[in-house]
Amino acid sequence: MIYLIGNPTHDKIITRDAEVETIGGTVWYAALLMVRLMRPVAVVGCGDTQVKRRFEDQGVNVRYFSVNGPLTHFENDYTGGDRRQYAKSGKRLHISAVPPEAFEATALLVGPVLQEIDPAILTANRRGLALLEAQGFLRYLTTENRVVERMGPDAETAIRHCDILKVDVREAQLIASTGDIDTALERMHRMGPQIIIITQGAKGALIYDGIRLIQVSAPKVTVVDSTGAGDVFAAAFLACYLDCSDPIAASRFAVVAAALSTRGFGASRLPSQREIEQVVDRNFNHPHMVTVRIKPVAGN
């Protein structure tokens, strides 16, 4: 069993062509993808009865999913080119909300959306791997409810106690206090995680394991909505890595899964395992799609 920890969200996605309301959040995208990949998955979080019913309908274990507490709301506005985010906080998840069996599970995917996760969940003793999707530890609200990002003590604690850290380029630069990606990878690795992942959108992803710097290119797709693509990447990487313990194979699988997920709004176009594997086989026969530097990244 893989346990996903974090709150789903009610999202409004605004583009130049459409305005769509959907369910979102790391645990939502991750849970639905895990189900598509035939992996048993449970969610520890807080939402409402509609979200809980949607999880149940998809075959997600919701025994530890609460409907008591305020909901998390996000508005993602892409009309200006870059994303502008506004939000309303949901219920905070304390370590007492996490069942003991989660810490004995094969893996945890910890995916806060807006400061709702107690970092003690990551410092607790556990048997399996913990992948941290760090974005929610970096998000704060202004007085106008606009989402801004900064590094804080909870984020540092969580990063120091995860096994795999997944961030995007902007988050990596914020965490490591540098615009140089090689240096950022080295600094984040020294904080504690065994594997650092930096997603790069249409360019693919960088993976650093302390020895190898791996660049994985993404297949070309027609993007309709990129919301949740990073969460899909995290879930796909974890699912594949648990099977093969190979960050290169897991990265190829995750890059393809994330790219294919952008073909529709929200979670409407999540790919199956077979579809992902077919695209991996078709695209990664070309040597330029994966490059590996076999040496430590220089950093300060």
pLDDT digits (tens, 9 = 90+) for 280-297: 888 887 666 888 887 655
- CA distances to 52, 54, 133, 194 from 59, rounded to whole Å, are 11, 9, 23, 31
Residue 75 is assigned to a structural domain of this protein: yes
Q: How many CA atoms lie within 13 A of 277 on its CB side?
A: 6
Higher pLDDT, 266 or 180: 180
Q: Is residue 300 part of a domain?
A: no
Instruction: Please determine, for residue 171, whether its predicted confidence score (pLDDT) is greater than 70.
Output: yes
| Other Cβ atoms closer than 10 A to 40 | 13
pLDDT at position 69 is 84
Range of the domain at 102: 2-294
In the block, residue with structure tokens 């107690």: 118
> Does residue 299 lie in a domain region?
no
Kindly state whether residue 38 falls inside one of the protein's structural domains: yes
Assess contact for 76 and 83: CB atoms under 8 A: yes
126 falls within a domain: yes
As a residue count, the chain comes to 300
Helix axes 229-244, 247-261, angle to 10 degrees: 150
Q: What does the pLDDT read at residue 119?
A: 97
pLDDT the model gives residue 191: 97
pLDDT of residue 16: 84
If one counts the domains in the chain, the total is: 1
Q: Helix axis angle, 181-191 relative to 169-176, nearest 10°?
A: 60
50-70 burial, b at 16+ Cβ within 10 Å, e below that, comes to: ebbebbeebebbbebbbeebe
**In a domain? residue 181:** yes
| Mean pLDDT, all residues of the chain | 92
Residue 277: inside a domain: yes
- Residue 182 domain-assigned (yes or no): yes
From 114, 116, 85, 104, select the one nearest 42 (Cα to Cα): 104
Q: Give the closest residue to 62 by CA, choosing from 121, 125, 8, 26.
A: 8
pLDDT in tens, 229-250: 999 999 999 999 999 999 999 9
- Domain CATH code at residue 159: 3.40.1190.20
